[in-house]
């Protein structure tokens, strides 16, 4: 099954570096960076508003344990967003994702 992982970064440069490492290590087939997000949340008892960059990571379920380790050691946030969505994809696109992640 195709998995879509969502995470966010304070800076586009951090998202680009993270995405590049995921693709080059075959933990992801593709990453899409969406700038211009604004997050509103409570952190350590205070309401916060932050400009962020959203990263969409396209991968396979087999890669989830390795991705979790990658996030724990490489993500710059103290508590990184790690949302996993099961996704249905067209057969050819899903095959490309599987092939890219298993290379």
Output phi, psi for 42, to 5 deg.
-105, 135
| Residue 40 to residue 34: CA distance in whole angstroms | 17
The token pair that represents 19 in the structure block? 């995405």
Are the CB atoms for 75 and 18 separated by under 8 Å? yes
Q: How far is CA 56 from the centre of its chain?
A: 5
Residue 1 has pLDDT above 90, yes or no: no
What are the start-end ranges of the E strands in 1-103? Answer: 2-9, 30-43, 46-60, 83-87
Task: Tally the domains of the chain.
Answer: 1
Residue 103 has pLDDT above 90, yes or no: no
Per-residue model confidence as pLDDT tens digits over 15-72: 999 999 999 999 999 999 999 999 999 999 999 999 999 999 999 999 999 999 999 9
Which CATH number do you get for residue 48? 3.30.70.120
Cβ neighbour number for residue 70 with a 10 Å cutoff: 17
Domain of 67, in residue numbers: 2-102
């Amino acid at each position: 099954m195709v998995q879509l992982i969502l995470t966010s970064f304070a800076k586009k440069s951090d998202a680009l570096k993270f995405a590049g490492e995921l693709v080059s290590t075959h933990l992801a087939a593709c990453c899409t960076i969406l700038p211009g997000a604004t997050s509103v949340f409570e952190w350590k008892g205070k309401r916060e508003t932050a400009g962020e960059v959203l990263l969409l990571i396209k991968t396979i379920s087999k890669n989830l344990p390795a991705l979790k380790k990658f996030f724990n050691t490489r993500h710059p946030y103290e508590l990184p967003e790690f949302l996993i969505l099961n996704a249905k994809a067209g057969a050819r696109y899903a095959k490309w994702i599987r092939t890219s992640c298993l290379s």
